[in-house]
A and B are shown apart, each in its own frame.
Chain A
Amino acid sequence: MTDFLKTRFLVPLVAVLALMGLAYVGVQANLQWVLGVVIPYLALFVFFEGLLFKIIGWARSPVPFRIPTTCAQQQSLPWIERTLADKLDNPTTFFQVLGRMALEVLTFRSLFRNTRTELQKEEKYPEGARLVHWSYKWLWLGAILFHYGFLIVFLRHLRFFLEPVPGFVKLLDAVDGFLVFTTPTMYISGILLLAGASYLLFRRLANPQVRYISLAADYFPLFLILGIAGTGFLLRYLYHTDVNAVKQLAIGLVTFKPVVPPGISSLFYMHLLLVSVLFMYFPFSKLMHMPGVFLSPTRNLASNNRWRLHVNPWNYPVKIHTYMDQENEYREAMVEAGIPVEIQPEAAAEKE
């Protein structure tokens, strides 16, 4: 194991384990108020403040040029057909942009294009090699499973915070848990989340190129999320805690009448602390790709630059070499070559 892998991989791993240890110690020291109320509130505060701060920070910088990545036929002559797919990959109107963004955000359109290039031996070619560009959807699949798993798990958790539980949460619960071969029912989303996150971690370690580019900031959120999903899994299926007490705590938090009921296990506080840390970490990390994708100028702009003027707010005049500069330098040669000029050489000589 190289040094950098040690620091980049092990430091975040130890950090997440230490956080769990901290939660355990906190419970032993009767700091449930800190773990169950103070830190969650702090986390939410940091999350929203940080998110706002970052997004405003981005928004303050203008988009000087309209630079969408055009991934399909442009809109030009009326008889050149543009299919719906073309319109979504090279949008020219607001609604087409909306469609492109929806595909990007909901289906990871760009990642779906992914290919994997392989250098193969090819005896038939004089250079002895060929590049084959395979379609490669595994990363897309892993990412989709992970993100949708996470989203559903997140939404399901609303049942802890809302009383009465809204219909859609109940429905989600029912659909998610339709495979009734365990007690309590196994949630598919939880499995997807764990499987997706494990795949992403596995890929980061197994693929030498990806391992090479990975930073501690790439492993830390993965460990954090695996820790959250892992403790959640244990809480639900193996080491149950008093769910009513947990709900009391959660409702207390959202109604700003915090209570810390007894009977909640240390495992739950580990879970909660990791979630709190995830929230606090979010605005200052790569997890900001979530709001960031909406602002990406290569995706969220219409490709209509030739018929709608895009104004650069900091556009400034620049020094240019004018036509007259050229003519003044080459006037006689131009006339000799039969190129029309603005001022005839005689007139120019007179001026001087």
Chain B
Amino acid sequence: MAKVPSPQELAKVNYQIPAQDWLHTKPEFRPGTYVNAAQPKWLEMINYPYPRAWSVTDDDWKLPPDWKEIILRGMEERLDRFRSLKLFFDICVRCGACADKCHFYLGTGDPKNMPVLRAELLRSVYRRYFKTAGKLLGELAGARDLDEAVLKEWFYYLHQCTICRRCSVFCPYGIDMAEMTILGRELLSSVGLNIDWTAASVASCYTKGSHIGATPQAFKDMIDFLAEENERITGITCEVPINKKGAEILFITPSGDYFADPGSYTMMGYLLLFKYLDLDYTMSTYAAEGGNFGWFTSHEMGKRLNAKMYEEAKRLKVKWILGGECGHMWRVCNQYMPTFYGEVPTFLEVPKSPITGTVFEHAKVHRMVHISEFTADLIRHNKLKFDVSRNAHIMLTFHDSCNTSRGMGIFEEPRYIINNVLPEGHFFEMPPNTIREKTFCCGASAGLNADEYMETRMKGGFPRANALRYVAEKYGVNHLGCICALDRATLPPLVSYWIPGMEVTGITELVGNALVFPDEIERTTDLRDRPLVGFEEAEEEEEA
């Protein structure tokens, strides 16, 4: 794996514009700046076209002979199917308002990472083949032939977009690079150009149940292990029902939450919360994945993975679905899921909290509730007893995840929870232009959290990390909270690179820390086995 340059080096971003016209510059596939090509076995598992062994650094990408026709036909089809694409191709005035809004541009300084220019990479081909001016005037009209170099450029830059939509907040016409990136990646996919990290996750999720490819029994093992951890720390036994028919609620969360730290602590938080409430719920080995890497490659694959949620809810005869903390999962659930399904899922009921009686009217078609909505409602109705001093070692700031922010708008629910589980004066916001709808991406979402991509990830995450640095220096913030499992996978390497010592935490983990059970053992540590404030010495003695 390529060595990542030091933070001092990466922070010297060069924003100088190249002398050569962008129509003619070509990307350099340097290790650390691209994600590996997908192995054919993954594509075969999901019936994706043109599986083959190829490598990004090869000159010959072994494209099918008629690749150009496939791409152009694909573009035409998508223009007919998506008004967004047609419109976003036609109405951009290149004002450049989006330019310095993109974390990849701010981190790399590469002008083709300005969303406007990233979109022009696609538009230039659109003009050449679909617009009279482009056909007649060629380059003068900003049009260019589709050749392999252009395709490689698409591959490079469409995988330097995390579908975060920050540009679309600032665009005066709402042009959304995310939309063009997904459709552009669909085109790449149609000629067998996929990245391994996404393809592996998608194929594993499709065939086994989750991105990490855990079998049903391995899934249960992981969950049981976390339940045991809970018991060790709190003395509370929380058995987790799996594939239980007739449960009231189906709980679905991203595999990141039960697979690895620090997501696993959030998972422990969920389990404690459900135990505390004595909730009649079940998890599923089939709908074992909340996240949806499929949506990062195509709308169709997004739907093929998402379909499992309703299918499983129907099979298990639950009343409604509760969703865990995840960013793109909730973009898909919020803006795509019922539309994918095509009708109201009448086998479910309108979600109603069995504890507070609150009917989640805003989810009356979707029939799925976000864990933060669910928890905020519980707190509002005084149903949870907290000992906030158990979070006294935490100075928190909150990272609004891209998808829950700009594809949903869930800002207040997590903040309400935070303010109730932390001692007063332990929560600080990052600068206003870097949070809420203007939040900066972790730099590695949308299927880009591959290890071989670390250099670009660290660059893309620089704006986020830099805003975090500000509150770390100013207020002594030591934890970055988020409601996104991908964040919990991508932010730890980011913060350990830019701000060593900073920790990343889910919000339900904090809930789990603070929740007071009547029959619990004395707690001396948090869910991560770190001593609570006041118990540091006891811990040291034990170690001695």
Query: Which A residues are within 8 Å of any B CB, using their own CB?
Result: 2-4, 7-8, 11, 54, 57-67, 69-77, 79-81, 89-90, 104, 108, 110-111, 113-117, 119, 124-131, 133, 135, 139, 143, 207-218, 284, 286, 288-289, 292-293, 295-299, 303, 305-312, 314-315, 318-323, 326, 330, 333-334, 336-341
- B191-199, B229-237, B402-410: which lies at the interface: B402-410
The closest CB in chain A to the CB of B407 belongs to A70
Choose from A66, A143, A212, A334 the contact partner of B216 (Cβ within 8 Å). A334
A110 CB contacts on chain B under 8 angstroms:
97, 169-174
| CB <8 Å contact, A89 and B437 | yes
| CB <8 Å contact, B335 and A127 | no
| CB <8 Å contact, B47 and A305 | no
| CB <8 Å contact, A213 and B366 | no
Assuming A72-B409, A115-B101, A119-B106, what are 12 further A-B pairs, CB within 8 angstroms?
A: A63-B82, A74-B409, A76-B410, A104-B172, A114-B97, A117-B100, A133-B431, A216-B142, A295-B87, A296-B87, A307-B366, A326-B209
| CB <8 Å contact, A77 and B373 | yes
Q: How far is the CA of A345 from the CA of B341 in the complex (A)?
A: 32
The closest CB in chain A to the CB of B172 belongs to A111
- B355-363, B390-398, B518-526: which lies at the interface: B355-363
Q: What are 12 A-B contacts with C-beta separation under 8 Å?
A: A69-B407, A71-B406, A73-B411, A76-B362, A113-B169, A127-B7, A139-B97, A207-B96, A286-B94, A305-B338, A312-B339, A337-B221
| CB <8 Å contact, A67 and B84 | yes
- B8-16, B418-426, B536-544: which lies at the interface: B8-16
| CB <8 Å contact, B172 and A130 | no
| CB <8 Å contact, B87 and A58 | yes
Known A76-B362, A125-B473, A320-B304; judge A69-B406 contact (CB<8 A).
yes
A215, A295, A303 — most chain B CB neighbours (10 Å):
A215
| CB <8 Å contact, A297 and B83 | yes
B39 within 8 A of A: no
| CB <8 Å contact, B91 and A286 | yes
| CB <8 Å contact, B172 and A72 | no
The closest CB in chain B to the CB of A338 belongs to B220
Closest beta carbon of chain B to A301's beta carbon, Å:
10
A318 CB contacts on chain B under 8 angstroms:
300, 303-304, 307
A339 CB contacts on chain B under 8 angstroms:
216-217, 220, 242-243, 285
B408 CB contacts on chain A under 8 angstroms:
70, 74
Closest beta carbon of chain A to B106's beta carbon, Å:
6
The closest CB in chain B to the CB of A90 belongs to B409
B132 within 8 A of A: yes
| CB <8 Å contact, B47 and A69 | no
Closest beta carbon of chain B to A103's beta carbon, Å:
11
| CB <8 Å contact, B87 and A292 | yes
| CB <8 Å contact, A323 and B312 | yes
Q: Which label, helix, strand, loop or mixed, suits the secondary structure of the B interface?
A: helix
The closest CB in chain B to the CB of A92 belongs to B362
Number of interface residues of B (CB under 8 A): 128
* B63-105 to A contact mask, C-beta < 8 Å, 1/0: 0000000000000000111111111001111111101110000
User: Which B residues from 100 to 137 make CB contacts under 8 A with A?
Assistant: 100-101, 106, 111, 114, 116-117, 120, 132-133
Choose from A115, A139, A293, A330 the contact partner of B173 (Cβ within 8 Å). A293
| CB <8 Å contact, A296 and B174 | yes
Q: How far is the CA of A74 from the CA of B126 in the complex (A)?
A: 35
Q: How far is the CA of A116 from the CA of B99 in the complex (A)?
A: 9
A326 CB contacts on chain B under 8 angstroms:
208-209, 216, 285-286
Ranked 3 nearest A-B pairs via Cβ: A74-B409, A292-B91, A70-B409
Choose from B100, B111, B140, B409 the contact partner of A116 (Cβ within 8 Å). B100
B469 within 8 A of A: yes
Q: How far is the CA of A218 from the CA of B171 in the complex (A)?
A: 17
B463 within 8 A of A: yes
The closest CB in chain A to the CB of B373 belongs to A76
The closest CB in chain B to the CB of A129 belongs to B11
B517 within 8 A of A: no
Known A63-B84, A296-B175; judge A133-B433 contact (CB<8 A).
yes
B86, B141, B340 — most chain A CB neighbours (10 Å):
B86
Choose from B7, B101, B139, B336 the contact partner of A126 (Cβ within 8 Å). B7
B399 within 8 A of A: no
Choose from B10, B179, B340 the contact partner of A67 (Cβ within 8 Å). B179
Closest beta carbon of chain A to B74's beta carbon, Å:
15
Closest beta carbon of chain B to A200's beta carbon, Å:
8
User: Which B residues from 326 to 384 make CB contacts under 8 A with A?
Assistant: 334-336, 338-340, 342-344, 358, 360-366, 368, 370, 373, 376-377, 380
Q: How far is the CA of A280 from the CA of B424 in the complex (A)?
A: 64
B389 within 8 A of A: no
Q: How far is the CA of A156 from the CA of B170 in the complex (A)?
A: 32
The closest CB in chain B to the CB of A323 belongs to B286
| CB <8 Å contact, A111 and B437 | no
The closest CB in chain B to the CB of A134 belongs to B433
| CB <8 Å contact, A70 and B406 | yes
A207 CB contacts on chain B under 8 angstroms:
96
Q: How far is the CA of A44 from the CA of B7 in the complex (A)?
A: 59
B431 CB contacts on chain A under 8 angstroms:
133
Closest beta carbon of chain A to B525's beta carbon, Å:
30
Q: How far is the CA of A104 from the CA of B16 in the complex (A)?
A: 33
Closest beta carbon of chain B to A315's beta carbon, Å:
5
* B218-260 to A contact mask, C-beta < 8 Å, 1/0: 0011000000000000000000001111000000000000000
| CB <8 Å contact, B373 and A213 | no
- B17-25, B267-275, B506-514: which lies at the interface: B17-25
Choose from A322, A334, A341 the contact partner of B311 (Cβ within 8 Å). A322
| CB <8 Å contact, A75 and B362 | yes
| CB <8 Å contact, A69 and B165 | yes
| CB <8 Å contact, B416 and A80 | yes
Q: How far is the CA of A306 from the CA of B22 in the complex (A)?
A: 42
B154 within 8 A of A: no
B466 within 8 A of A: yes
| CB <8 Å contact, A306 and B12 | no
B296 CB contacts on chain A under 8 angstroms:
none
B28 within 8 A of A: no
B142 CB contacts on chain A under 8 angstroms:
215-217
B413 within 8 A of A: yes
A298 CB contacts on chain B under 8 angstroms:
84, 168, 174-176, 179
| CB <8 Å contact, B362 and A66 | no
| CB <8 Å contact, A54 and B409 | no
| CB <8 Å contact, A66 and B339 | yes
Closest beta carbon of chain A to B341's beta carbon, Å:
9
Choose from B94, B339, B362 the contact partner of A218 (Cβ within 8 Å). B94
Known A79-B380, A333-B215; judge A310-B176 contact (CB<8 A).
no
| CB <8 Å contact, A306 and B338 | yes
B116 CB contacts on chain A under 8 angstroms:
213
| CB <8 Å contact, A127 and B498 | yes
A115, A208, A338 — most chain B CB neighbours (10 Å):
A115
Choose from A70, A308, A333 the contact partner of B437 (Cβ within 8 Å). A70
Closest beta carbon of chain B to A95's beta carbon, Å:
18
Choose from B141, B343, B463 the contact partner of A309 (Cβ within 8 Å). B343
The closest CB in chain A to the CB of B139 belongs to A7
Q: How far is the CA of A274 from the CA of B34 in the complex (A)?
A: 48
